Amino acid sequence: MRNRESSPTPKTPAKIAAAAPRQAYGYLAVIIATWAANWPMMRLALAHTEPMVFVSLRMAGSIAILTPILAALSCPFAAGPARAGFAPFSGSASSG
């Protein structure tokens, strides 16, 4: 009888190629659902608050959600010196 070690199943290129489209479609579905829900929710929120207050609250909420995720993934919080000059303009371009 052979002694088997408990090790994860090796991923072959065929298994990776088969899993990648399914995972990509899952991510795409999440993006589409989030985008579709964003517009009605934004219209409801803007009926009760000023636009700049809404943008500020939305930015604060995004930071509150993304900071722990980036920390858990050990991603850098800063873009680095090569793209640091672009950072102030990226948020203003998305919020108008």
Instruction: Tell me the per-residue pLDDT of 45-66, one tens digit each, with 9 for 90 and over.
Output: 889 989 899 889 989 998 898 8
Q: Can you give the pLDDT at residue 95?
A: 56
| Count of Cβ atoms closer than 10 Å to residue 31 Cβ | 10
Q: How far apart are CA 58 and CA 66, in angstroms?
A: 12
Measured between its terminal Cα atoms, the distance across the chain in Å is 69
Query: What's the mean pLDDT when you consider all of the chain?
Result: 76
Average pLDDT over residues 72-83: 67
Q: Can you give the pLDDT at residue 87?
A: 60
pTM to 2 decimals? 0.48
Structure token pair of residue 5:
């070690």
**DSSP 8-class letter at 76:** -
Q: How far apart are CA 39 and CA 92, in angstroms?
A: 19
State the pLDDT confidence band at 74, using cuts at 50, 70 and 90: confident
